[in-house]
């Protein structure tokens, strides 16, 4: 499965659980860490955990398991699928950390071109 297909599957699974403001950020020219970051919001800690669980279940069905997962029951869950990193968080945390602005304003790295 390509990184783009993986990112689309993650977005679809998050959408199935009514995740809010799902954004897929193409960061392949900005960092070697991943090709895509997906950021979305849940309206409570329980909702955040439910979204993360559904994404993990869907990806396991597709034979893709996260290399690591961080943040269970904290209002921000990160799942690292290697070339795609999935963030689901409460809206307050999302606004505070503002990952979208950070990655969207970063210039591409000449070393990754």
pLDDT one-digit tens code per residue, 27-43: 999 999 999 999 999 99
CA nearest to 16, candidates 45, 52, 43, 44: 52
Q: Looking at the domain assignment, is residue 25 inside a domain? A: yes
Domains of the chain: total: 1
Residue 45 pLDDT > 90, yes or no? yes
What is the radius of gyration, based on Cα positions, of the chain? 13
Q: 111 lies in a domain?
A: no
pLDDT of 110 strictly over 90:
no
Pairing of strands 84-90, 36-42: parallel
Which CATH number do you get for residue 88? 3.30.460.10
Which domain does 70 fall in, by range? 3-101
What is the per-residue pLDDT across 6-24, written as a single tens digit (0 to 9) for each? 999 999 999 999 999 999 9
The model carries a pTM of 0.94
Find the DSSP H helices in the chain.
3-16, 45-61, 91-97, 99-105
26 located within any domain: yes
């Amino acid at each position: 499965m390509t990184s783009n297909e993986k990112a689309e599957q993650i977005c679809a699974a998050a959408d199935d659980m009514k995740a809010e403001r799902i954004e897929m950020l193409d960061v392949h020219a900005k960092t070697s860490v991943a090709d895509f970051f997906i950021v979305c919001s849940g309206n409570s800690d329980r909702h955040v955990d439910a979204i993360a669980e559904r994404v993990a279940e869907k990806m396991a069905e597709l034979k893709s398991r996260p290399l690591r997962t961080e943040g269970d029951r904290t209002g921000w869950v990160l799942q690292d699928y290697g070339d795609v990193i999935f963030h689901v968080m409460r809206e307050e945390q999302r606004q505070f950390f503002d990952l979208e602005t950070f990655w969207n304003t970063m210039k591409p790295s000449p070393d990754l071109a």
